[in-house]
Structure formats: structure tokens, C-alpha cells
Amino acid sequence: MLYLIGLGLGDAKDVTVRGLEVIKSCSRVYLEAYTSILSVGKEALEEFYGRELILADRETVEQESDEILRDAAVTDIAFLVVGDPFGATTHGDLVLRAAKAGIQHRVIHNASILSAIGCCGLQLYNFGETVSIVFWTDSWKPESFYDKIRRNRLSGMHTLCLLDIKVKEQSIENLMRGKKVFEPPRYMTVNQAAEQLLQIVQNRRELALTENTICVGLARVGATDQHIAAGTLQQLSAVDFGGPLHSLVISGCMHPLELDMLRLFAVEPSSFDQINVEDSSTYLSS
Amino acid sequence: MLYLIGLGLGDAKDVTVRGLEVIKSCSRVYLEAYTSILSVGKEALEEFYGRELILADRETVEQESDEILRDAAVTDIAFLVVGDPFGATTHGDLVLRAAKAGIQHRVIHNASILSAIGCCGLQLYNFGETVSIVFWTDSWKPESFYDKIRRNRLSGMHTLCLLDIKVKEQSIENLMRGKKVFEPPRYMTVNQAAEQLLQIVQNRRELALTENTICVGLARVGATDQHIAAGTLQQLSAVDFGGPLHSLVISGCMHPLELDMLRLFAVEPSSFDQINVEDSSTYLSS
């Protein structure tokens, strides 16, 4: 049996009781290491689980899936994924390879940022399509995420923006020399995402989304030191959210209860209601 | 401190290790009992947690929130919610009352159907707005969910349909007599949801959604006896999914990898690809 086990969002203790039982009983335990991170490292997980973990980066999963699935027809293999196994990244490829080899799979679900984001007080029902904001480079500044946010907002829907993660990147120099030397991992901050959005907003000057649109920045959701702040896009570009992972939500049309919840996290509680009135009037006239 | 703790989707062991620790340490532990159910009852949870649970139905939470929050400024209170605390139902009201009373809150996240639905193989990125399908009565047959599904589908997005749950309902007779006698709980099945949708589809005769549209029915997601079946809306209206809770997904535009995943759950594997070709051609010409 291939077990796909979600680890949740915070640290080692966010695994489920069932997930921990399965981890302890499997022959081999892989830790997916390329789409997300927990606030703790591999060693802390190994200590808490009482098991050695085999790191599986993107190359391993794509090129050595036979090794991951070895003997899984007769023994149990665990594949650990931060968040939910079918959350932000799909692991369909591994499941399909298992199915082709006649190996059954089971999913042990856990929290994913896609639903945990509800902790900011915006209703999950009212979210439209999720978007990914990628790091701009000097020569590559895609704006497709803006168009999706705009579309959601015009339908009154909120937008969850997943922020870019760059791990195991090679510099062009090292890539050309064939050197497997990797750059330090980079995790996009709310500030960086807000600044990229502000550039688009300032170029386009559309009423659907402006520097005064109410947004929510979230860092380390589910961890003990999580940080949530609600304010204008401009305000959020200057808030210090601390370490990764960060997420950004662009509000749509807000129910009074949603607004009451956001006020708990307001950057400037005293001006929050006034900002919202201005943002809503802009938004409604767009 | 008020702890909002997600219990996940299956049974007692789907709580997280951290969640279980907090449950064991709190002064009082409430179990939210009106929006969802686990496959096990209150007694099984009490035995596993080693704690007495106080059932909190909708009335308790709305009318007796002061009692729930009593002493929470000086002691720890746990409020347990099936799935994720901010998943299908918000508990913003309780959080706001706590905040007003100067009581801090913390969320211990867990799996929600809103992200666990990814286990069917459709990418969560490609889901549009979530809809709720309510039980029709003889005199009340709302179709608003159809319009949202149609809109998602025309944008190429999949739709998660949450199916109606009726608990603590009173018959009109008992309601008028002021008798607090409740009807047995009712949980909408995939079959019932498919049949309501088929009635709309057959009346409207639009190409955007037909009886041949590929859908996925899911029952007891996350439990050991979960059941997933992919087929046409017509096919799913006749599949026996067993006990609650059920969910229904209406596909949008599918990536080949998504299609490969759905094929694993096909009601009729031999005809699945042909159905999809026909559905896609209908869909693309709409």
C-alpha cells in the first residue's frame, strides 16, 4: 500500500494520530521536499516520528518513482507531504504509477492552506479561482494573476494568492557549467507580492483593484507564531510578516460578519472602516 | 484561551497530535454538532480523547455562547468542529464574541472537504466557486446552484457541490404545537443531488451541462470505507455510495492528468474515454 500522508501546516505535532501510526508502521518513509516547508526541519520530524525520513525532491519523485514504489505491493510505503497530499501540489503522477503497477493507495488528509485560509474570517464559499504569484525577473513580468484576481473581484469573490517558492534553483552560470550547486531557497513575502501587484495596479489604473483595495496578508498559518494583517494593498506592502510561508488574499464583496472578522486583524483599526467604505464605493462603481 | 480544533473527516484518530494534546488539557470541551458528522459518534470520541464532550448544537452556540466562553480568559476551552474550524461553516460569530470579551483564540487546523476533495484527482486550482445543493420540497425548488455550476463550467472550472444536511428539523406540525420533537437527520446523497440536477438540465436543455457531463461522486472522504465514482451525471444518479456524507463534483475543462486520475474511479472504465470525448465536444461548442 502507498500511503500519501498530509503533515498539515505548522510543525511535527500537526500530523494526525492516524498519520503518525501509519508513519511508524511503514517500511520506508519519504518526505516530499520541493513544494512547501514546515517550520521545523527533517531532523525534528525524524525525532518526533521516531523514523528515518528519505528526502524526495522533484527529481526523485519524477525519475525514481520505481524506487519509491518498490515492494509497495507487499509492504507499506509512506509519502509525506506538507499540507494535504492533494492540496497545493497534486501527487497524481505517483498515484497513477502506483495504480499501473497494481499498487493500492490511501490518502490521510490534513489541513491545506486552501482551506486553512478561512482563519482570516473570509468565507471559503466566497473565494473564486486560486492564483499563483510568481517572482518577477528583470525580463519576465507576467500579469496573468492580476486578470484572474480582477475577474474574481468583479464577481464579488475573494482571491487566495499562493506566493512563489524557489527551491533547488541553479544560477544560469552553474546551470551552464553543469554544476549541481543550488541557490539558497527563496520564499515570496506578502510585501513582494503586494509590490508586484501595486506596479500592475498603477500601470492599469482600473477601479476593479487599486492600492486601497482591502487585502489580508498571512504568514505561517497554523503555526504558534502565525501572523495575520488586514489593510490596503499599499499598507500590506510595508508590514513585517516575519519568516515564510506567506499568503495573500484579495477581498471581494464582503459580508458584515466577514468585515467584523477582518477588523480583528486590521493594520490600522481606527481607519479600517473608512478604508472599506472607500474601497467598496470604488469597487461598486467599477 | 478559546481553541477551535478541527477533527478532520474520518473518525477519532483523524484529530492531530497537537489537537489531541489540547483537548486533553482544556477545562471544558464542546463538540459542534450541527453542520457535519464523523463516521463515529460522541461516545467513541469521548473514549478516544479520554474526555467528556458537551454537545453544542446551533441553539447552544447562538444562545449560550456566554456559557461556552465562561472563564475562557483564565482557563482553556476547546470547541471541536468536524473538518476544519473555518471550513464549510464559519465560526466567526464565536470568535467575535470571544474577542469582544477580551478572550484570545487559536485555531488548530485539519482537513476540510474543501481541500480533501482533491483526492478525486481534479486539481484544486481549477475549481471555481463552491455551491450548496439544498433538498427540494414540493413547493420550493431553487435552481441558483445550477447557475453557479454553469458559470464555473463556462470558465472551464470544476465545481464542488456540498450536499444538504438536515439535523434537528421539526415537522411543521410539531413546530406549530411548539413541540421540541425533531425529525431524524437527513443527509443528501449523490443520487438525490444528481436527480435534482438532471431535472434542471432536462428543463433547460443547455449544452453547458447535460446528463452526459462527467461528474464525480464521493462518499465518506477520508474514512477507510470512502467511495469515489466518476461517470456521467446520469450514471451517478444510479450508483450506490452507501452512508453519509456525500459530495458531488461537476467537472470543467480537464487536463490529461486529471482525466487519467478520474479513469481510476470510472463507473464504466471501458466507455469512460468515449463519454469524455462526447462531453468535451458538447461543452466546447456551448
Give the pLDDT of residue A170: 80
CA distance, residue B116 to nearest chain A CA (Å):
6
Q: What is the pLDDT of residues A134-151, one digit of tens each?
A: 999 999 999 999 999 999
Alpha-carbon distance of A104 to A138, in angstroms, equals: 46
Region A112-126: what's the mean pLDDT?
94
Give the pLDDT of residue A58: 75
Cell numbers linked to B73: 480568559
Give the pLDDT of residue A278: 75
Chain B contacts of A222, Cβ < 8 Å? Answer: 107-109
- Check if the beta carbon of residue B218 is closer than 8 Å to that of residue B251: no
Region B107-134: what's the mean pLDDT?
94
Region A119-147: what's the mean pLDDT?
94
Chain A contacts of B261, Cβ < 8 Å? Answer: 92, 95-96
Of A273-277, B19-23, B201-205, least confident by mean pLDDT is A273-277
Chain A contacts of B221, Cβ < 8 Å? Answer: 109
CA distance, residue A60 to nearest chain B CA (Å):
19
Contact at CB, A109 and B8, closer than 8 angstroms: yes
* Mean pLDDT, chain B, integer: 91
Chain B contacts of A123, Cβ < 8 Å? Answer: 90
The pLDDT of residue B114 is above 90? yes
Contact at CB, A112 and B111, closer than 8 angstroms: yes
The pLDDT of residue A282 is above 70? no
Contact at CB, B130 and A125, closer than 8 angstroms: yes
Give the pLDDT of residue A248: 98
Contact at CB, B16 and A109, closer than 8 angstroms: no
* pTM attached to this predicted model: 0.93
The nearest alpha carbon in chain A to B90 belongs to A123
- Check if the beta carbon of residue B101 is closer than 8 Å to that of residue B51: no
Cis before B197? omega within 30: no
Alpha-carbon distance of B132 to B207, in angstroms, equals: 22
Chain B contacts of A86, Cβ < 8 Å? Answer: 115-116, 118-119, 121, 124
Q: How far is CA A238 from the centre of its chain?
A: 21
Q: Which residues of A196-208 are buried (b: 16+ CB within 10 A; e: fewer)?
A: bbbebbeeeeeeb
Q: What is the pLDDT of residues A10-67, one digit of tens each?
A: 899 999 999 999 999 999 999 987 666 677 889 999 999 999 999 988 777 778 889 9
Give the pLDDT of residue B111: 96
**Strands of A28-32's sheet, edge to edge?**
A54-56, A28-32, A77-81, A2-6, A105-108
B interface test, pick of A86, A133, A154 with most B CB neighbours within 10 Å: A86
Using alpha carbons, list the distances in angstroms from residue A15 to B44, B45, B216: 21, 18, 28
Give the pLDDT of residue A34: 67
ipTM: 0.93
Comparing C-alpha atoms, which of A98, A94, A74, A77 is closest to residue A86?
A94
Alpha-carbon distance of B232 to B112, in angstroms, equals: 25
The pLDDT of residue A286 is above 60? no
Chain B contacts of A114, Cβ < 8 Å? Answer: 114-115, 124
Contact at CB, B86 and A6, closer than 8 angstroms: no
Contact at CB, A110 and B111, closer than 8 angstroms: yes
Contact at CB, B21 and A13, closer than 8 angstroms: yes
Residue with grid cell 495596479, as numbered in its chain: A201
CB pairs under 8 A between A and B: 170
Q: What is the pLDDT of residues A155-211, one digit of tens each?
A: 899 999 999 988 777 888 888 888 888 888 899 999 999 999 999 999 998 888 999
DSSP line for chain B? -EEEEE-BSSSGGGSBHHHHHHHHH-SEEEEE-SS---SS-HHHHHHHHTS--EEE-HHHHHH-HHHHHTTTTTS-EEEEESB-TTSSS--HHHHHHHHHTT--EEEE----HHHHGGGGS--GGGB---EEEPPP-SS----HHHHHHHHHHHTT-BEEEEEPEE-S---HHHHHTT----PPPEE--HHHHHHHHHHHHHHH--TTS-TTSEEEEEESTTSTT-EEEEEEHHHHTT----SSPEEEEE--S--HHHHHHHHTTBSSHHHHHHHHHHHHHHHHT-
Q: What is the pLDDT of residues B78-95, one digit of tens each?
A: 999 999 998 766 688 899
Q: β-strand B28-32 against B54-56: which pairing, if any? A: parallel
The pLDDT of residue B271 is above 90? no
CA distance, residue B207 to nearest chain A CA (Å):
23
Q: CB-CB: which of B13, B127, B155 is closest to A17? A: B13
Q: Does A125 or A2 have the greater pLDDT score?
A: A2
Q: CB-CB: which of A15, A111, A157 is closest to B6? A: A111
The nearest alpha carbon in chain A to B129 belongs to A128
Contact at CB, B86 and A115, closer than 8 angstroms: yes
- If DSSP codes are grouped into helix, strand and coil, which group holds residue A18? helix
Percent of chain B with pLDDT over 70: 95
Chain A contacts of B111, Cβ < 8 Å? Answer: 6, 84, 109-112, 115
